[in-house]
Structure 1
Amino acid sequence: MSLALIDVTVLLAGSTIADVAILPRSRPPLARLFAGKPVSSLRSVLLRLFSLCSAAHEVAFLSAFDAARNETAPPEVRKARIDAVIAERLTELLRGFFVGRLTLGGSSAAAVRALMRATTVLGGGIAERREAVLQIREALTALGGAGGAQQTWPGSVLAAHLSGLDGDALLLPAVEQSFLTAADDLDVVLRLLADGPAFSDAPDLDGQIPETGVWARQAWHAPASPLVAGPADRLKARSAEVALLCTRLETDETAADVGVVASYWLGPGRGAAAVECARGRLYHVVEIDGDRIARFEFLAPTEWNFHARGPIVRSLRGSALGPGRQGRDAVRALVDCFDPCVGVSLGFREVGHA
């Protein structure tokens, strides 16, 4: 297995998914690599190591370092960090929605290119962000987004893509869902501090593996989330969040910033931070000796969602696949909705009949 690959094997009993086997990725030994290094030297290292969600990792690291020194960042610094995380979240959500998903041609492909160009300036000042958001809204409208991205125009590229994910290709069972929230932060960071990689490689909270990411954030605002969340439902939730983030960056209204970045002092020289990035809640824990790192631990959203007993397994186990390739394509679409930060190898294997 590649160091940057998760292996997912769907075990079939006829047309029913009997189980899902996930072999998680091997994570880089950052605790050993970072130990003894000056804090000032690690910012550039983080940007190289984490090409996806690099702003979130940088903000998490700096916020954890501030907490370890029992310091609070000035309001303007804190706001700049939150702005960077939100701009990156919008960029990643759009990339995950449009790049490689839709069958594009002509004006549709041009709209996606314009959309992705606009995301490159989201990290600028307020005027630049507002202009970028305007361009994003125009591109979404060209692709069929009505009123931003929450609804679609009939017959549009977006409408056709979403309607193609509905139907009988994949019939999911109703399952009890659990979601990672900011209320779990202290439990998570204390486990990271106590158990290190033994916890971060396969995390759990009292035996439960909650989901994190777009669908979890929707559940914060709508506690009565449906017990069945197929690919179309999850992509509609992504569309709704895109519209909300556009409004946040356009108006600079900070009321929605609660929980985006949180930091925790864990005792002398120890600090932690949680950042709500595109794929879910990211955690960093640091222990410092002066201006050097004595210990570093991190936990990415992918470790929850692609846990061997986690949300993907719960969602797919017991599902019924439609005939032919459609069912398997629908499984792929559902796995893609969890948007891992590394590559995924998806395979199918017959294990007998139910």
Structure 2
Amino acid sequence: MLDIADELHRWARQGRPFAVATVVATSGSAPRQPGAALAVDGDGTAVGSVSGGCVEGAVYELCQEALRTGETVLERFGYSDEDAFAVGLTCGGVIDILITPVRPYGAEEPGRDAAAESEAPAAVITTALAAAASGEAAAVARVVRGPAHLLGHALFVRPDGTATGTLGGHPDLDRTALHETRALLDAGRTATVEVGADGSRCGEPVTLLVESSVPAPRMIVFGAIDFAAALVRAGKFLGHHVTVCDARPVFATRARFPDADEIVVDWPHRYLETQDLDARTVLCVLTHDAKFDVPLLERALRLPVAYVGAMGSRRTHLDRLDRLRAAGLTELELNRLRSPIGLDLGARTPEETALSIAAEIIANRRGGTGTPLTGAHTPIHHDAPTALERMGPVSAA
């Protein structure tokens, strides 16, 4: 839902009622992941997608029905062998979709308590949409499975741990949901979480969909070379906020990197030490010069970032490893280094090399193998562990 926050926030500000259908669970080869949404306003205008086209028509009708009834419903769509023309997913997957009607800002019912109104699911959703549309880091947790009276209740959580709304059950359920939601927000992840209705890990289960909206993940490209210019374009295409850093002002210029969000002239390791990085950050070291690379990688490989890759030949890589060992890095830390950088695509040009690096970043993020799908028996979609889970304990820098 938060992936279409800009449009939904605009509808809400205009006082347009709408219903939003959100993917809350998938299995098999479902085309969209939890959090993907389709919304329909009172005039029948639609935005977003939940299946890439397979069940859009049926979900559109469910949204219109929710606008008429004001009721939140959970629907499941799967593949039908019995009727090839039945509404379902031709890819063979299964998706569960939550349809929630949302009243616009200022549409309070006469006599309704204002405090209760602010806790209502629709009000919580509009608050979350406003935050996401403004670029703030925010998350919303909604009950998608459990006791019927809790379905659709929502809790909006900010990075500082403050929250708005309620899941409508035991007070400890809100407290547990707050902690779980804040952890996912810190990692910038959207996922489902199962807790007990009383907030414990036992008892009647309640499934929450937690959607996180965070600023674009960062890509920092060290080394203002021609390959870097192509990688900047690839990084922007993947949705990253891209910074180019190089100690040489003659190369680190806006004219050479018009697509970069930032261009920094500084020694790479010194710049890295000033940055507050998270578990989604991607670091690409393209200088392949020991005086830049070694002090930079010595620090980078001890940070809880998503990816650290370094360009260079295999001989350069082996020499680099020896220098990093001499600097005190452990084998566990060295194993995090992707070098030579990129997947084996046979790339030669800067653009081909950028595609090779981008492919490795995606595979690392999603848990892919880089194996051709033709003839392979690997899943098409993967659920990768977080960067923190992959790297294990982090030593002090």
Please say which structure displays the higher CA radius of gyration: 2
- TM-score in terms of structure 1 length: 0.24
- TM-score in terms of structure 2 length: 0.22
Structure (1 or 2) with the greater helix fraction: 1
